[in-house]
Structure 1
Amino acid sequence: GQVSIAPQEAAQAGGQWRVVSQWQAPGEMQDAGNIYLVEFRDIPGWEAPAPVMLKKGETGGRVEGVYIPAPFSEQTILTFAGASTLAGRLAPELAQLYLRQSGADEVKVVPGAGADEFSVQGIFFAAKEIRKIEIQGRGTQFGFMALKDGQCDVALAAHRLSPVDARSMGGNAITGESEHRLGMDAVSVVVHRDNPVKALTLDQVGKIFAGEITNWDQVGGPSAKINVFALKDTFATRGFFESVFLGSRPISPDAREVDVQSQLPEFIARDLWGIGFCSITLAGPCREMPLKAGADSEPVLPGTDSIRSLAYPASRSMYLYVRGDSSNVHAREFIRLCLSDAGQKIVGKFGFVTLGELAGTAAAETHVSGAQQAASNLPSIFRPGAPSVLKAPAISGPLPRLVQLDGEVVPDGTRKAVLQEYLDGVYGAERLPIVFRFQSSSLEPDAQAMQDAGRVTAMMKEPANAAKAVILVGFSDSVGDYASNLAVAVKRAEVVADMLRSRGLRNITVLAAGEEEAVEPNESRIGRERNRRVEIWLK
C-alpha cells in the first residue's frame, strides 16, 4: 500500500505519517495484527488529517492524508541580548527548557542572521500558537543598551552593570531585583594540544598579547613564531582579558582578530603555534594553558575549585539582568527557571560553575597570600586540620610596597598592624568559596549577596558546623586614603554580619584588611570591583 500527503506544501512543512498496530497477547511475533491505525503528525500552520483505520486485508490500497491550512498565531514572549558567551549555546538551551515547561508540544531552534542569533520557537498545537524567544549575542554592552532602550527583556552579561550605566537607565529601571548571578566562567588562555610549553606566567601572557614576546623560545618552547589570535574589541571577554593580563597596554596590532568567539578555539586547534583566549565553555578542541602568578608559583588551571575561590586569575561571574519596571511576566519566570535546579543543571552541562557548586562546603579553601607568607612558617599552619590557636606568628621583614592611586606609599608600620590583626583572626581557619561584593563608595551589597547569605545560613545550621564560628573579613579598593578604606571595609563586613544575624546566626566575628590582599590591580574598574569584597571564613 501507499500513503500520500497533500497538499505538497504540507509535506514540505514536515507532514508525516506512521502506522500504529493493535496490542498483542504474549506469544510468537506475527504480522503487526489485524487492525492498523495510520496517524498523521501535527505541524504548525496545518490541521492534521484524522487517523485512518485499516483492517489487515485493506493495507494494499492507497491512503491519502489531506492537511487543511490552519494559520497559527505567533508572538514573541521574550527577547535576550548580550554576551555571546551565553547567547551561543546556553541561552538557547534554557529557552527550550522554558518553552517545554510552559507546555509547548514541540520546540525548535531557528538560526538567525548572525553567528549567535537564534529564534527558539515553542509550538502549541491545541492553541494554534507559536511562542518565540529571540536571542541576539552581540556583546554585553549591546545587551545593556538594549535593556536601556526597551529592546530586550533579559540582558545576558559577562560582567556586572556599572553604577554609571545603571543610573543612565533612569527611574526604577535597575533595582535590587534586577541583577541575578547565573554562575561563573573563566577566560582560558588556549594553545594547540601539541604545544610543548607547560605553563605561562601572567606577565608572559601579557607580553605575548602585547607583542613584546613574539617567539615560543622566549618562554621555554622551541624556536617558532607565536601566532596571536584575539576577539574583536566589541567583546566583553576581550575587555576582561585585557584588564587581567595587559593593564593599560593594547593588544598587538599583529594579532589576528576573530569576530565569532566559538571560532577562535577552532583556529587555535589548527595552528600548532597559535595562542588565544576564550570562555572555558568553548575551549574543548584546545589545551588550556596553566597560569602562574610568578616564575616560582604553582601553575593553576581553570576548574570548579580554582574559579570559585578566584585562585584562577581570569575568573568571572555571569549575570542576567531584567528591568525593575518590566511588566513581562515571562522574564521573571525565566529567571526563576535559570536559578532552579533544572536550570542550573543546564548551566553546568555547558561547563559553567553552577550556583550550587559556588555554595558547596566540600571545597572550603585554605588561603595563603603574599602578606601571610611574610610571617614566619605561616603556610604550614594554614593547612586543613591545623590547630585553632589564638595568634599567628608575627610578621617580619618588609612588605611589598602599597602605592595608592594618588601615588602615596602606605608606611609598613601602619600596614603591619592591620595585617597582624587580620592574620591572628583567620589563623587556623578555612576560607569558603563565597564572596560578598559591593558597589563603589557603597555599603549596599549586590543582589547576589542575599542569596549567598541564605546559603551560608543553611550551611551553618548543619550539625557538622554547629560548633564553628563565622569570621567575616572586609576588603576595599584603593580609591581614597588607607584609613578611610579600612573603615569602609569594616562597615561592609558589619553589613554582611547583620544579614547573617537576621537569619539566626550568632557566633560571628568581624575583621577588616582594607586595601591589603588585593585580588586584582586597582588600576582597572574590574580590578577595583573584585577587590571590594567581604570574605567568609570558618573556625
Structure 2
Amino acid sequence: MLFTLGALVLLAAAALVAWRPELVLGRQEPVVRSVYIFPPAAAQAGAAWRLTGQWRAPGKQDRDEPLWAVEFKPVPDWEAPAPVLIAQGERGVEVRGTYQPAPFTREPPLKVAGSVVLADAAVEWARLALVRSGAGEVRRLPGLVPESTEVEGAFFAEKVRRSIEVRAVGTEAGLTALMSRACAMAISSRPLTAAQESSEGLQSRMVGQDALAVLVAPDNPVRIVDMETLRGIFSGRIQRWSEVGGPDIPIVVVALEPNFGTHRLFQEMVLGDLPLTGAARKAPTPAAVDALVASTPGAIGYTSLPLSKQAALVALRTEPGQTPVVPSGASVRDGSYPLVRSLFVVWRKEAPPSELLQAIFSSEGKRILERFGFLLPPN
C-alpha cells in the first residue's frame, strides 16, 4: 500500500513538472504561453505574430520587468488585430487574435511586354519597383494570359494592391503593343528604328549588352566557323557538315520566328539580304534553341549567350585566317566577338513608367541584369 501511494505521488510530481515546470523546478515561465489566430483562412494567408518589448536605456537596469506586446502581421485581404499589451510581470499569457476580412482595392496592372530574353530580369525589376514604392508584401503570380507573369505588391496603409504584368511575347510584339498603347513599357533586344522614335513618339534607353551565341550539337567537331560560312549554312547554300570539315551528315538549321528580336538581328548581322533557308526548324523560344540544338545530331542554331546551357559554343572569325573568338563577357566588352547586341527598355515619351524606370537603372536594378548573365552598358 505504501509502495502504491509513493508511486502515485511520484507520478503526480512528474505530471506537475511537465505541466508547470516553473512551480517545481524554479524555471521562469515564458511571457507568452501560446497565441491562437482566427479564422484559419487568415493563418493560411500568412497571418503570424511576434513578441516585442519596450526600448531600454543603456547602463545599469532597474529590477522592473519590461513591458511586452504581441503584434500581428498584416496580410493582404485581412485587417490585423490590435497589439495585445501584456501586464508588467505577467507570464504564461494565452493570446487570441482575430483577423477581420478587409478586401484590398486592386488597381489595373502596369503592363510590360517584349523580349523573351529580358523577361526574367523584367520580373525582378517589377518586384524591386514595388518594394521601392513601399509595398509591404510582394508576391509573384501566374498571369491571366499565356507567357505572362504578374508581380503584385500589397500596400497595407492604403489597402491597395498594385501589380506589374510582364509578358514574354518577343521584341516585335512588345513594340507593337507599346505603339498601340496596350502596354506601358517594352523590353527590346534591338534598337528602335528612326521611324519608331519620331513618328511613334517612343523613347529608349540601353540597359545592357548581350552576345548572339552560335551553337552546335555537343558531338559536332566543327567548333570554328567564319562569317561567310555561317551565312552559307543559314541560307541553305551549305547543307552538309562535310563541306566545312565535319562529318558527312546533313546540317539541321534551327532558327526563331520573325517576331523575336534575336531572329531579326541575326538576319541583319549574318544573312543580310539573303533569306533564311526554308528547311530551318523553328524553335518556340530563344531558350528552346539551346535544348533543340543539343538534342539534334547535326544541328546548328543561335540564341542569347546566357541561355546557352547544353549545346556547344562556336567560335567565330570575321574573315578566313583570322583568330576565332568565342562569345564571352570579355569578348563582348572588347568588341572582338562579331555578334554583339544591345538591350533596351522602351516607353512612350508622354507617359514614362517613372517608378519602374528608376528601379531598372538603380544600382540594385543593374545587379539584377548582371545576375541573369548580361553585361552593363559601357560607360
Tell me if TM exceeds 0.5.
Answer: yes
Offset, 1:21: 8.6
Give CA deviations for 1:93-119 in whole Å, capped at 9, x if unaligned. 111111111121221222225564221
Offset, 1:347: 1.8
Offset, 1:154: 1.6
90, 106, 114: which one aligns with 1:74: 106
What is the aligned partner in structure 1 of residue 81 from structure 2?
A: 49
What is the aligned partner in structure 2 of residue 351 from structure 1?
A: 373
The whole-number CA distance in structure 2 between the counterparts of 1:263 and 1:187 is 14
**Given that residues 84 and 116 in structure 1 are in contact (C-alpha distance below 8 angstroms), is that contact kept between their aligned partners in structure 2?**
no
237, 248, 272: which one aligns with 2:273: 248
What is the aligned partner in structure 2 of residue 316 from structure 1?
A: 341
Give CA deviations for 1:345-370 in whole Å, capped at 9, x if unaligned. 22222122202xx12xxxxxxxxxxx
Offset, 1:195: 3.6
Count matched residues: 333
1:20/1:321 CA distance change after superposition, 3 Å:
same
What is the aligned partner in structure 2 of residue 332 from structure 1?
A: 354
What is the aligned partner in structure 2 of residue 90 from structure 1?
A: 121
**Given that residues 185 and 353 in structure 1 are in contact (C-alpha distance below 8 angstroms), is that contact kept between their aligned partners in structure 2?**
yes
Give CA deviations for 1:60-102 in whole Å, capped at 9, x if unaligned. xxx6643211111222463222222222x11111111111111
Which sections of structure 1, spanning at least 5 residues, go unmatched? 24-34, 360-539
What is the aligned partner in structure 2 of residue 232 from structure 1?
A: 257
1:19/1:270 CA distance change after superposition, 3 Å:
farther
Q: How does 1:129-140 map to 2 (within 5 A)?
A: 129-140=160-171
**Given that residues 34 and 93 in structure 2 are in contact (C-alpha distance below 8 angstroms), is that contact kept between their aligned partners in structure 1?**
no
**Given that residues 198 and 289 in structure 1 are in contact (C-alpha distance below 8 angstroms), is that contact kept between their aligned partners in structure 2?**
yes
What is the aligned partner in structure 2 of residue 162 from structure 1?
A: 193
The whole-number CA distance in structure 1 between the counterparts of 2:365 and 2:93 is 50
What is the aligned partner in structure 1 of residue 154 from structure 2?
A: 123
222, 236, 239: which one aligns with 2:247: 222
What is the aligned partner in structure 2 of residue 525 from structure 1?
A: none
Offset, 1:39: 5.6
How well do the aligned residues superpose, as a CA RMSD in angstroms?
Answer: 3.0
What is the aligned partner in structure 1 of residue 63 from structure 2?
A: none
Which sections of structure 2, spanning at least 5 residues, go unmatched? 1-32, 55-66
Amino acid at match of 1:342: E
Correspondence 1:141 to 2:166: no
The whole-number CA distance in structure 2 between the counterparts of 1:207 and 1:44 is 58
The TM-score, its normalising length taken from structure 1, stands at 0.55
1:66/1:310 CA distance change after superposition, 3 Å:
same
What is the aligned partner in structure 1 of residue 364 from structure 2?
A: 342
Give CA deviations for 1:410-431 in whole Å, capped at 9, x if unaligned. xxxxxxxxxxxxxxxxxxxxxx
Offset, 1:241: 0.8
Larger Rg: 2
- The structure, 1 or 2, with the larger RCO (C-alpha pairs under 8 Å, 6+ apart) is 2
The whole-number CA distance in structure 2 between the counterparts of 1:286 and 1:39 is 53
**Given that residues 115 and 260 in structure 1 are in contact (C-alpha distance below 8 angstroms), is that contact kept between their aligned partners in structure 2?**
no
Amino acid at match of 2:136: D
What is the aligned partner in structure 1 of residue 21 from structure 2?
A: none
State the secondary structure of the residue aligned to 1:322.
Answer: strand
Identity, % of aligned pairs? 34
**Given that residues 211 and 327 in structure 2 are in contact (C-alpha distance below 8 angstroms), is that contact kept between their aligned partners in structure 1?**
yes
State the secondary structure of the residue aligned to 2:348.
Answer: coil
What is the aligned partner in structure 1 of residue 235 from structure 2?
A: 210
Offset, 1:52: 6.0
Q: In terms of mean alpha carbon deviation, does 235-244 or 250-259 score higher? A: 250-259
The whole-number CA distance in structure 1 between the counterparts of 2:38 and 2:220 is 58
The TM-score, its normalising length taken from structure 2, stands at 0.77
**Given that residues 317 and 338 in structure 2 are in contact (C-alpha distance below 8 angstroms), is that contact kept between their aligned partners in structure 1?**
no
1:37/1:336 CA distance change after superposition, 3 Å:
closer
What is the aligned partner in structure 2 of residue 266 from structure 1?
A: 291
